Chain A
Amino acid sequence: MILPFTEDRDTGPFFAAARENRLVYAACEHCGRGSHPPAPFCSHCREPRSAWQEASGKGRLYSFTTVTHQIHPDYPAPYVLVVVTLDDNQDVRLIGRIDGDAALEIGQPMEVWFEQVADDVTLPQWRPASA
């Protein structure tokens, strides 16, 4: 398992929240546009007022790929990588992984879940939303 560096000054709070099973994203306090990756400045209105917002954990599938050629021993193929646009903020798209094969359709509702991958690391993951 490739573990993330969780102490980065700009992205660390994403992982700190995930450890508490919370999903957060960065957005501009001035214009409301989201930043992902999280940035200390807003590239839309140029204000340096980025703040962490609580996300609902709901989103839509933007794209995906079924990985069939294994690259890393800790990520056995096949698996599906998903890109999910947050319902809360269309500027923010997050990555998730579904192990095995999965029949997915772009646009379908997705929901977050939290996968603890190490004592001190939890990843927000995504799966098709339950009805």
Chain B
Amino acid sequence: MMEDLALAARDKCAIVGIGKTEYSKDSGRSTLALATEAARAAIADAGLSPDDIDGIVRCDMDRTMPVSVAAGLGLRRLHFWGETGPGGTAPSMMIGLAVAAVLSGQAKAVVVYRSLNGRSEDRFGSPSGPRARAGGFGSYDELYQPYGLLTPGQHFAMMAQRHMHEYGTKQEHLGAIAIACREAANRTPHAQMHDKPLTMEAYLASRPISLPLRLFDFCLESDGACAVVVTTTERARDLAKPPVTIRAVAGGQPSDTRAGMMFPALSRGDVTDIGGRQAAEELWRRAGLGPQDMDFAQLYDCFTISVLLQLEAFGFCRAGEGGPFAASGAIARGGSIPINTAGGNMSEGYMHGLNHFYEAVRQLRGEADNQVEGAQAGLVTSGLYPFGSAVVLGRNA
């Protein structure tokens, strides 16, 4: 039988540096300026210099190109660059690409970044003015946009409606997720919603956007950037901060995969069937750990329903029970699996999920604002459409 290299790769690489910019509604700067600032901060946090960086990984929706970031950082010997996506599915697979580059000898130290002016420049689902016809060329938008199905929020609203129909999930269940993220942000000074508490009453009274989803079921629109540095765990031991090891990475696809990015998923046999289910199965096998071993989970939170589906997919509760589980207090501070401990995309800032790695590393170093005492291992997930990907991180193996 072939040697299982996924098991051999366990904890061989580590995240050694993290960096971020301010998260805001209007950065007033280019995404290249943001990406460079975050990457410089991550390199410095590791105790490295740009001369040590020979790899760059980005998200395929980023406006900046690796060559521009290499120029911005003043790199001299770049040997590896790569990109993956789409969108929210990217961050965990970006870490996977960095690990692949390091373990195959193509790079020694890789910067992974995400930069966006998601509020001041590129708002998702905004009207694009006079335009050519929608879709074609494998986008499949021609089958959806002409009907007025224009945004991820409308898509996820129909998933939520279906989940409510099948399992009796209630509005308050989704509210519990929004509030858990907000309470974490309230304890995190850099979070965009740090000073804005959220009650269930205020959640239920919030403006309907695409029912059953309301304003506070949506993530933020943010400007900013975030970056991490990946190298070998062996090298990490000589660097500035305690290494946070990458125990396992896995992606997964849904059981009824349809071509296209997001809207075609509405034709899946079960619209609540997300790639995270398969990713989880493989991730736990590769990690030799399970959901019960996680001290926290940073779950990709474009919407509250996304978190609920991933609580089920990654085995924190059974299929259909995500609502009552979320409302039980399990996901809040002091619960069995605190989620999105800096507030996540919903209340910290929308760095398309790479911010979840920033926070997970802080937790495992013991330097988080909203610290989970004695955290030893944690889960980070990335997206659920069209695929899902996830990483298990561990403390100083």
Contacts and interface: CB of A to CB of B under 8 A. Distances in A.
Q: State whether these chains interact.
A: yes
Interface of A: 1-8, 10-11, 14-15, 35-37, 39, 43, 62-69, 71-73, 75, 79, 81, 83, 90-97, 106, 117, 121, 123, 125
B266 A93 contact: yes
Instruction: Tell me which of A37, A92, A117 has the highest count of chain B C-beta atoms within 10 A of its own C-beta.
Output: A37
Nearest to A71: B150
B28 interface: no
* A-B pairs with lowest CB-CB distance, top 3: A5-B136, A4-B142, A65-B157
15 contacts: A4-B145, A6-B133, A6-B142, A8-B137, A37-B259, A63-B161, A64-B158, A65-B210, A65-B212, A67-B154, A67-B210, A68-B207, A68-B209, A72-B150, A96-B147
B134 interface: yes
Given A66-B211, A69-B209, A93-B267, 20 more contacts: A2-B146, A3-B146, A4-B141, A4-B145, A6-B142, A35-B258, A36-B264, A37-B140, A37-B143, A62-B271, A64-B158, A65-B211, A67-B154, A69-B208, A71-B126, A72-B127, A92-B267, A95-B144, A117-B146, A125-B147
Contacts of A83: 158, 266, 271
Interface residues of B, number: 47
A35 B145 CA distance: 19
A27 B143 CA distance: 17
Contacts of B259: 37, 39
Contact of B165 (A81, A106, A121, A125): A106
B350 to A, nearest CB: 17
Contact of B133 (A5, A35, A91, A106): A5
B158 A63 contact: yes
A65 B269 CA distance: 19
B74 interface: no
A7 B136 contact: yes
Interface string B114-158: 000000000001110001111111101111111111110010011
Contacts of B133: 2-6
